[in-house]
Structure 1
Amino acid sequence: MSDTGAGLVRLPAGTRAQQQWLLSLLPAFPLVLLVLRLWYLSRQDLTTMLLLVQYVSPLGLVTSLTITLVWVLPAVVLLIRVFGTLLLISAPSRDDACRSLLAVVTLRMPDWTVVIAVLLAAITWQMRFLPTLLMLTLMIIGLTTWLRRGDDRAVLVIMATAVPVAVGLLAYVWLGPAIMAAFRAGETINALLLAVPPAVAPILTGPIPAGVARLGTHWAAVAASIVAPFAVGVLFMRAPILPDTAIEAKAGVVVTPEISERDEARDEARDEIDVWRGRLITVDDSMVTLMDADGRVRFIPSSEVLSRTLCPEAEQVPSSAVYVQGWYAEDTALEWMAPKQRRTEPDPRCQGRPVRAE
């Protein structure tokens, strides 16, 4: 919003208190997510979790959190702008709207923040969600026009009606074949994601009845803010934070919490080769520490390691067969443009087999 409009906003005492609580809690949310991720990775075993805390890099955790949830930030910014602007133009008065922290944040949000959010979403959201991004962008343009130029009928007709209709028609020209392909393939959800947003955008660019304005904006945002942390947490809990590694070692040398003493049978097996696969925790001069798929920690003497390799992460099984002008519906623009690592023949060590026999 304009600096003038933002400068005239005076926060009620209750809203100021809400803002202070929000600012104090925001830094704690990523920290809680990181701790829960380690707790989940350790299979809720406190001893293993303390081992992970000792060796897992904080930078690795933050990087994993950022890559996994990079699409969330633009979604939050765009939804705040949409709901906040809708509340400002629908409420009986500006003072009534500014009782909500949502409206205050919207008034103080600079336009360049929205532009950056749209650009970030355009490269990090999957193709099937880009029509939704288009709808949100058209809504922001139309609602902002109502807020700033609501007394200019010609501008309202152009920006809040003509532009959304024209852009929607162009979107259908581009999306039409993919929408039909999705319906033919029985992918109803993907078909709706592609078809519905351009159609409803022109009717969502104006105010709603004042009687339901607060319920449809402020309380909808409150409900979303309650649900969002749980959804984000579920997504991050499954994000990889340790490299997937396969290690060849002489049989009978691995030390585990369950087996800490050598016996004769293990000594006799030392001429054989074992392959251990799991998440690599740390490597030093004496031990390689590995966590297997069951959350058990393996300690492999470094002197007994014969070879080591990185194993590729399992690719997500595609759930759609729809392409939009050659752009796969489940790909992001970033994935579409960036070079991908070529898949070679699978390493036998990643399948639990040694590459050579001793």
Structure 2
Amino acid sequence: MTELIIKGGGIAPRRRRAQLNWLLTVLPAFPLALLVLRLWYLSRQDLPTMLLLVRYISPLGMISALFITLLSAAPAFILVLRVLGGILLVSAPEQAGRSMLAVTALRMPDWVVLLAVMLAGFTWQLRLLPTLMMLLVSIMGLTAVQRFHTARWLMLWITVVVPVLVGLLVLIFVGPGIVAAVSAGETSTALLLGVPPLLGPLLTGPVPAWAARFATHWPAVGAAFIAPFAIGVVFLRAPVLPDSAIETGPPDGPVEVVRGQLIAVDDTATTVLLAGGEVTFLDNDDVRSKTLCPEPEPPLESMVSVRGWHVEESALGWVAPTRHAGPVDPRCLGRPLRPE
């Protein structure tokens, strides 16, 4: 026990390395657990169906779905970790050696933060960009306090004037959206647009040393508990099989439209997972036509736009080409393509 505790109540490097090794061991298991749970959820908790899905579903497709799910969550994790760790470093430097949060923030390279900011700028919705700017000015101010001990006027400029100016510019840009959100009764949208620019100057300096650990560790612990559940819920609903509609029936008989998720096609049969979790095998000789059904557009939560930019749209969704919605294929509605 004496080897694990150092003078002053800190944790010895050997014990910290052991904790880090445990963390690095558990982290790779989280994506694997998500992939297994996705198949379990897709099979409606039926083991034979899950084994069939394991045989035919491409791991690359599931990894792609997981990557898309985590695309916007990873920058949030990195930036919030850097802000909370930076606040602890400047508020209670004597506790930095005993805090994994502070050590991680201290050792985080600047290029990782830069990439996280760029990725968030492209993938986050417009209503979350004021929060991104708040995190960015906070990181800039905390980094200046940690690394540079220059003239007082320069530190005041970096930690106070710059956040105030950035917040003012953001408020000028999103001002019409705030007015529209208040007029439409969308309180949450108005708060997301208007509150973060006001908090930026408050997150660039230290907090009282006695409250530093409470103000940083508890939010980090809460986010660490909530994030896996939130990511899991989103990933469990992400599509991993193409939604299809298949016309089937004997050459001289009636036509039936089968709606479901296409699992596989071999020399004799087409395997389809129905909406209720049942698996059906369609004889290829009876299959008359197939089509892919587009993913239904989720309903909009907000009708507010900021200078022509909808608050739920990201820069990546605005720049990247999208498929325009056309006439709905009747087969996707359960009707034959050519009714007899």
1:322-341 mapped onto 2 (5 Å cutoff): 322-341=304-323
Give me the whole-angstrom Cα distance separating, in 1, the residues matched to 2:322 and 2:93.
Answer: 53
Per-residue Cα deviation, 1:133-175 (whole angstroms, up to 9, x for no partner): 0100011011111111246422221111000001111111111
Give me the whole-angstrom Cα distance separating, in 1, the residues matched to 2:248 and 2:183.
Answer: 52
Select 1:312's aligned residue among 286, 291, 294: 294
Select 1:299's aligned residue among 281, 290, 295: 281
Per-residue Cα deviation, 1:304-338 (whole angstroms, up to 9, x for no partner): 10000000001110111111111110011111111
Give me the whole-angstrom Cα distance separating, in 2, the residues matched to 1:13 and 1:91.
Answer: 23
Structure 2 SS opposite 1:271: coil
The corresponding residue for 1:72 is: 73
The 10-residue stretch of structure 1 (176-185 or 222-231) with the greater mean CA deviation from structure 2: 222-231
CA drift at 1:52: 0.4
Structure 2 SS opposite 1:278: strand
Give me the whole-angstrom Cα distance separating, in 2, the residues matched to 1:121 and 1:11.
Answer: 36
CA drift at 1:352: 0.2
> Does the CA-based 8 Å contact 1:11-1:98 persist in structure 2?
no
The corresponding residue for 1:259 is: none
> Does the CA-based 8 Å contact 1:40-1:237 persist in structure 2?
yes
Select 1:353's aligned residue among 328, 335, 340: 335
> Does the CA-based 8 Å contact 1:15-1:100 persist in structure 2?
no
The 10-residue stretch of structure 1 (32-41 or 220-229) with the greater mean CA deviation from structure 2: 220-229
Give me the whole-angstrom Cα distance separating, in 2, the residues matched to 1:226 and 1:53.
Answer: 29
> Does the CA-based 8 Å contact 2:74-2:116 persist in structure 1?
yes
> Does the CA-based 8 Å contact 2:181-2:189 persist in structure 1?
yes
The corresponding residue for 1:257 is: none
> Does the CA-based 8 Å contact 1:18-1:101 persist in structure 2?
no
Q: Which amino acid aligns with 2:122?
A: I
The corresponding residue for 1:44 is: 45
Structure 1 gaps, min length 5: 1-9, 252-268
Give me the whole-angstrom Cα distance separating, in 1, the residues matched to 2:88 and 2:150.
Answer: 18
Q: Which amino acid aligns with 1:229?
A: P
Q: Which amino acid aligns with 1:223?
A: G
The corresponding residue for 2:19 is: 18
Q: Which amino acid aligns with 1:105?
A: T
The corresponding residue for 2:30 is: 29
CA drift at 1:339: 1.4
Q: Which runs of 4+ in 1 moved over 3 A?
A: none
1:149-298 mapped onto 2 (5 Å cutoff): 149-150=148-149, 152-250=151-249, 271-298=253-280
Q: Which amino acid aligns with 2:181?
A: A
Aligned pair 1:107/2:89, yes or no? no
Structure 1 SS opposite 2:195: helix
RMSD across aligned C-alpha pairs, in angstroms? 1.5
Give me the whole-angstrom Cα distance separating, in 1, the residues matched to 2:200 and 2:157.
Answer: 14
> Does the CA-based 8 Å contact 1:245-1:279 persist in structure 2?
yes
CA drift at 1:51: 0.6
The 10-residue stretch of structure 1 (228-237 or 113-122) with the greater mean CA deviation from structure 2: 228-237
Give me the whole-angstrom Cα distance separating, in 1, the residues matched to 2:252 and 2:38.
Answer: 36
The corresponding residue for 2:91 is: 90
Structure 1 SS opposite 2:328: coil
Q: Which amino acid aligns with 1:27?
A: P
Percent identity reads 55
> Does the CA-based 8 Å contact 2:69-2:231 persist in structure 1?
no
> Does the CA-based 8 Å contact 1:11-1:104 persist in structure 2?
no
- What's the TM-score, normalizing by structure 1? 0.89
Structure 2 gaps, min length 5: 1-10
Give me the whole-angstrom Cα distance separating, in 1, the residues matched to 2:296 and 2:252.
Answer: 32
Give me the whole-angstrom Cα distance separating, in 2, the residues matched to 1:221 and 1:150.
Answer: 28
Equivalenced residue count is 330
Give me the whole-angstrom Cα distance separating, in 1, the residues matched to 2:49 and 2:240.
Answer: 15
CA drift at 1:270: 6.5
Residues 185 and 11 of structure 1, relative CA distance in 2, 3 Å threshold: farther
Structure 2 SS opposite 1:24: helix
Give me the whole-angstrom Cα distance separating, in 2, the residues matched to 1:65 and 1:337.
Answer: 22
CA drift at 1:24: 0.8
CA drift at 1:220: 2.3
Structure 2 SS opposite 1:145: helix
The 10-residue stretch of structure 1 (232-241 or 16-25) with the greater mean CA deviation from structure 2: 16-25
Q: Which amino acid aligns with 1:34?
A: L
Give me the whole-angstrom Cα distance separating, in 2, the residues matched to 1:17 and 1:201.
Answer: 36
> Does the CA-based 8 Å contact 1:12-1:99 persist in structure 2?
no
Per-residue Cα deviation, 1:166-199 (whole angstroms, up to 9, x for no partner): 1111111111001000000011000000000001
Q: Which amino acid aligns with 1:97?
A: A
